[in-house]
Amino acid sequence: MADDARGATESATRMTRQICQGTMMPIGGAEDKEGAKVVLSRFVELAGGKDARIAVIPTASEEPDKGAQYEALFHELGAAHVGVLQVERRQDTEDEAVLAPLRDATGIYITGGDQGRLVEVIVGTPVMDCIRERSNSGALVGGTSAGASILGAHMPTPGDGESGTATPRKGIVELVAGFGLVQDILIDQHFSQRGRIGRLLALFAANPGLVALGLDEDTAAVITPDGMLEVVGTNSLTILNGRHVRSDYFDRDDGEVLTVVDSTVHILAAGRRFDLNSHQPVDV
């Protein structure tokens, strides 16, 4: 029995090592920056508190002071060292001086903005490689809005149609490759606020192996290396499990209505936990 239990534990560890190598903290956007700052406080705490060395990547944002804004916030929340990466173009990612704040970071924070900018400028570059290395070494990696979606292996991108309020049809949403810090998991944000559940259910039609995390605004998922997820913040996390889905995706043409059956939905409030190994909520 003891050996069996140990075997099971090792197997679970191996599995979750693939899922998440350091702690991750995707945030659903619009996190509180003026009140109790529950989400950002937790980020600083998990990055090491007063000993945290935080690297901010504001590349997705079009606001030139976004990096400085988070720098001030993280200082205010007690982090001694905060650096901002100046990455505007793809070639910036090969400049060792630019990469410096990442090299010894205990927490990496990717701001919101244009998800496409993160793909164009950072995916596949030394900055992404360095983020992966830091995650492998145990650093916390977090991000908000577009900065949350980019953390997953896959992320949704609107296709032909307006995705928030449309019948699920083939082609209304497609997948783009993200940083891949978590396998088989797709992260969506502003979730209840923008009515995005339909586009994820449509995505399952062609992707029955995925589990999707739908993060509401001012709400985060803290995912530890053992594959356990905890909800933090003021709204909810919706988890969609596509692993039992059947669909007619590959028989349909672009624009045709999809049939997608047997998706499972869990809505979790703050403090709730979900086991990404067993795909089950804990203690509900």
**Which residue(s) pair with 24 in the sheet?**
141, 223
Q: Using the structure block, give the residue that is written with the tokens 């995505």.
A: 203
In the complex with a second copy, the residue whose CB is nearer, 9 or 167, is 167
DSSP string, 125-145: SHHHHHHHHHHHTT-EEEEET
Q: What Å distances lie between residue 135 and 26, 146, 274, CA to CA?
A: 14, 19, 21
Please select the residue that binds a second copy; options are 228, 270, 275, 277, rule is CB under 8 A: 270
Please select the residue that binds a second copy; options are 19, 52, 121, 201, rule is CB under 8 A: 201
Please select the residue that binds a second copy; options are 100, 167, 255, 278, rule is CB under 8 A: 167
CB of 167 to a second copy, least distance (A): 4
The binding track of 205-224 with respect to a second copy, each residue x by CB under 8 A or -, is -----------x--x-----
Options 85-93, 111-119, 121-129, 195-203: segment touching a second copy (CB under 8 A):
195-203
Residue 40 in contact with a second copy, rule: CB under 8 A: no
Token reading at 78: 């007690």
Q: Are residues 196 and 164 in contact, defined by beta-carbon separation less than 8 angstroms?
A: yes
Q: Using the structure block, give the residue that is written with the tokens 């793909």.
A: 119
Residue 171 in contact with a second copy, rule: CB under 8 A: no
At residue 126, φ and ψ (nearest 5 deg) are -60, -25
In the complex with a second copy, the residue whose CB is nearer, 128 or 260, is 260
Residue 186 in contact with a second copy, rule: CB under 8 A: no
Please select the residue that binds a second copy; options are 192, 206, 210, 227, rule is CB under 8 A: 192
Q: Are residues 201 and 263 in contact, defined by beta-carbon separation less than 8 angstroms?
A: yes
Output the 3-class SS for 39-59: HHHHHHHHHCHHHCEEEEECC
Residue 165 in contact with a second copy, rule: CB under 8 A: yes
The binding track of 231-260 with respect to a second copy, each residue x by CB under 8 A or -, is ---xxx-x-------xxx-------xxxxx
Q: Are residues 227 and 26 in contact, defined by beta-carbon separation less than 8 angstroms?
A: no
CB of 222 to a second copy, least distance (A): 17
Residue 188 in contact with a second copy, rule: CB under 8 A: no
At residue 253, φ and ψ (nearest 5 deg) are -95, 165
Q: Are residues 72 and 79 in contact, defined by beta-carbon separation less than 8 angstroms?
A: no
In the complex with a second copy, the residue whose CB is nearer, 137 or 259, is 259
Residue 194 in contact with a second copy, rule: CB under 8 A: yes
Residue 228 in contact with a second copy, rule: CB under 8 A: no
Q: What Å distances lie between residue 93 and 75, 124, 188, CA to CA?
A: 25, 10, 26
Residue 261 in contact with a second copy, rule: CB under 8 A: yes
CB of 66 to a second copy, least distance (A): 25
Token reading at 149: 């979606």
CA dist 82 and 268 (Å) reads 32
Q: Which residues are catalytic?
A: 145, 162, 190
Write out the residues near a second copy by the rule CB under 8 A: 164-168, 192-195, 197-198, 201-202, 216, 219, 234-236, 238, 246-248, 256-270, 272, 281, 284
